[in-house]
């Protein structure tokens, strides 16, 4: 049996874990962006510190603040060196770097007025970056971290010294113009209320930002997954279209050779009527040629859209029995045990020939896997008014580790590994799964939970699209 898992034969969207790994391993991974942003951050912090000390004459704690800026620059250089190594970047690593930035900003603000410093609003940046680049749990954790740092700075900090340079006169003029000179000078209750208002504003802002950005980021990621799935389905459909084009071309070209073969076989039968053994072989060849001609006729007929209008409704149990009878004519040597059970009367369905080919392909694969096993294949169909489930059980060698690893690859087959089986191209299950999924169903292929081995091929078909 070909080693496809039909339920995975079509390209599927990657899991969220694999998508995250691919995203963080790519050229646009968030840590590279964070390194570039931190360069600007370090440069800005150094410039502001120099201006505050040299121009504004503010008596700040220069040594610890400069040490923090230098440490942040060193961390950025180490991160750049780590990225050049090519190792994958994890979400927790990006989150840790954002925490480093929050910690550095908190320490700098501690030495420069805490929550009264106008740069305290920079605490909004880490939650925004976390919400844009990381899962929601990291974004909310970053929100909690910045809130904790901001709240700490409300109660514990060194006061922000007043400027002593040229800006001191401008600051006094602005204070008199706004009427806040007395309150700011004494840091009275009005200024305390202002600080509290700033804190509440930050709480509201950071929660709103985290909430909406995480929702937007999740929606964008979901859209990317849907687009990736749509692209993969289009690629699958293009592959099927190319196979259909080749099949139609082959059907057109094989008509003449098959007709010639039929004539030659007929002449041999007439000329060697006395050789019974040869007659039996020629009869087998004639049956195979007729089967090929019938298959070609069905391929060409399936392209005639007017045939769809003439399709008639048939009971589900009758439809399945007709398929099994047809398959027994094709594979007379195969042993088959059949069990059809479900609600009566069985629902009426209308299908095209492609669904029949899909089920026949699955039966062929099971029969090929069964090989010369003396045990018959088991075909079980159970249905309700809404769904139909078909199981085909064989006693083949099952799916090995490599086959399970390569499930879903078109043109992959294990039939060539077993000389007793007929060779295959590895597209039967691929096409069968595509047809059944087009009907809204799915195919599952898995090893049987039986000491004697074997594979179970399970087809689940919703009848809503098939009912007359």
User: What are the tens digits of pLDDT across the range 41-66?
Assistant: 899 999 989 988 888 788 889 999 99
228 and 102 inside one domain: yes
Predicted local distance difference test score (pLDDT) of residue 174 = 59
User: Is 336 in the same domain as 297?
Assistant: no
Q: Is the pLDDT of residue 421 over 60?
A: no
Last residue of a domain, one of 253, 274, 302: 302
Is there a domain that residue 79 lies in?
Answer: yes
Same domain for 152 and 30: yes
Residue 467 covered by a domain: no
Judgement on whether residues 405 and 332 belong to the same structural domain of the protein: yes
Mean pLDDT, residues 173-197 taken together: 55
What range does the domain containing 342 cover? 312-462
Q: Is residue 450 part of a domain?
A: yes
Report the range of poorest mean pLDDT among 152-161, 206-215, 230-239: 230-239
Any residues with CB less than 8 A from the CB of 110 and at least 6 apart, and which?
153, 156, 157, 158
* One domain for residues 431 and 364: yes
Is residue 408 scored above 60 in pLDDT? no
Q: Does the pLDDT of residue 187 top 70, yes or no?
A: no
Task: Determine the average pLDDT of the residues in 362-367.
Answer: 89
CA diameter of the chain: 127
Q: Are residues 184 and 278 in the same domain?
A: no
- CB neighbours of residue 455 within 10 Å: 22
Pairing of strands 377-383, 336-342: parallel
Residue 468 lies in a domain: no
Look at the chain and report how many structural domains it folds into.
3
pLDDT > 60? residue 67? yes
Find the helix or strand (DSSP H, E) in which 443 lies. strand 442-447
Give me the torsion for CA of 236, 309, 307, 242, rounded to 10°.
-10
The whole-chain average pLDDT of the chain stands at 79
Identify the domain boundary among 179, 201, 235: 235
Query: Is the same domain home to 410 and 369?
Result: yes
- Residue 72's pLDDT is 95
More confident residue, 124 or 205: 124
Q: Are residues 230 and 274 in the same domain?
A: no
Looking at residue 196, its pLDDT comes to 65
Q: pLDDT (tens digit, 9 = 90+) per residue, 89-117? A: 899 999 999 999 999 999 999 998 888 88
Is residue 71 situated within a structural domain?
Answer: yes
Tell me: do 85 and 119 sit in the same domain: yes
Question: Is residue 19 predicted with pLDDT exceeding 60?
Answer: no
Residue 81 has pLDDT above 90, yes or no: yes
Judge whether 278 lies within some domain. yes
Same domain, 344 and 258: no
Q: Are both 210 and 247 inside the same structural domain?
A: no
Can you give the pLDDT at residue 382?
95
pTM: 0.51
**166, pLDDT greater than 80:** no
Look at 20 and 243; give whichever has higher pLDDT.
243
Q: Name the strand (E) or helix (H) holding 42.
A: helix 30-54
* 148 and 263 assigned to the same domain: no
Q: Which of 197, 220, 235 is the last residue of a domain?
A: 235
Flag whether 6 is in a domain: no
Query: Residue 457 belongs to a domain with what CATH number?
Result: 3.30.565.10
Res. 164: pLDDT tops 60? yes
């Amino acid at each position: 049996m070909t080693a496809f898992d039909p339920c995975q034969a079509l390209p599927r969207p990657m899991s969220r874990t694999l998508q995250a790994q691919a995203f963080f391993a790519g050229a646009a991974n968030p840590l590279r962006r964070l390194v570039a942003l931190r360069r600007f951050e370090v440069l800005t912090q150094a410039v502001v510190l120099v201006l505050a000390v040299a121009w504004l004459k503010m008596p700040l704690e220069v040594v610890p603040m400069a040490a923090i800026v230098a440490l942040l620059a060193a961390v950025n250089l180490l991160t750049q060196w780590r990225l050049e190594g090519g190792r994958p970047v994890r979400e927790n690593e990006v989150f840790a770097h954002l925490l480093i930035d929050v910690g550095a900003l908190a320490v700098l603000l501690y030495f420069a007025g805490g929550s009264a410093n106008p740069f305290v609003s920079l605490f909004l940046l880490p939650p925004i970056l976390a919400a844009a680049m990381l899962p929601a749990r990291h974004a909310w954790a970053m929100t909690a971290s910045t809130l904790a740092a901001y709240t700490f700075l409300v109660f514990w900090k060194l006061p922000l010294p007043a400027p002593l340079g040229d800006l001191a006169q401008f600051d006094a003029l602005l204070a008199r113009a706004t009427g806040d000179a007395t309150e700011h000078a004494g840091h009275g209750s009005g200024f305390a209320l202002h600080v509290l208002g700033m804190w509440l504003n930050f709480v509201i802002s950071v929660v709103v930002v985290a909430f909406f950005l995480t929702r937007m980021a999740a929606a964008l990621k979901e859209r990317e997954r849907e687009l990736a799935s749509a692209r993969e389905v289009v690629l699958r459909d293009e592959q099927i279209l190319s196979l259909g084009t080749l099949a139609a071309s082959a059907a057109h070209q094989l008509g003449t050779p098959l007709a010639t073969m039929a004539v030659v076989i007929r002449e041999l039968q007439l000329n060697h009527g006395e050789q019974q053994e040869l007659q039996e072989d020629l009869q087998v060849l004639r049956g195979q040629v007729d089967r090929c001609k019938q298959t070609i006729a069905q391929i060409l007929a399936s392209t005639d859209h007017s045939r769809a209008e003439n399709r008639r409704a048939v009971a589900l149990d009758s439809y399945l029995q007709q398929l099994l009878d047809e398959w027994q004519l094709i594979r007379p040597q195969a042993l088959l045990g059949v069990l059809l059970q479900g609600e009566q009367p069985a629902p009426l369905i209308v299908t095209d020939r492609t669904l029949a080919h899909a089920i026949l392909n699955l039966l062929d694969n099971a029969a090929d896997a069964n090989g010369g096993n003396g045990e018959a294949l088991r075909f079980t169909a159970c249905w309700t008014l809404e769904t139909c489930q078909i199981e085909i059980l064989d006693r083949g060698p099952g799916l090995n580790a490599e086959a399970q690893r390569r499930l879903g690859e078109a043109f992959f087959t294990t039939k060539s590994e077993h000389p007793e089986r007929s060779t295959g191209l590895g597209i039967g299950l691929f096409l069968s799964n595509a047809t059944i999924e087009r009907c809204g169903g799915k195919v599952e292929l898995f090893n049987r939970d039986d000491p004697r081995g074997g594979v179970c091929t399970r087809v689940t078909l919703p009848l809503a699209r098939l009912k007359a």
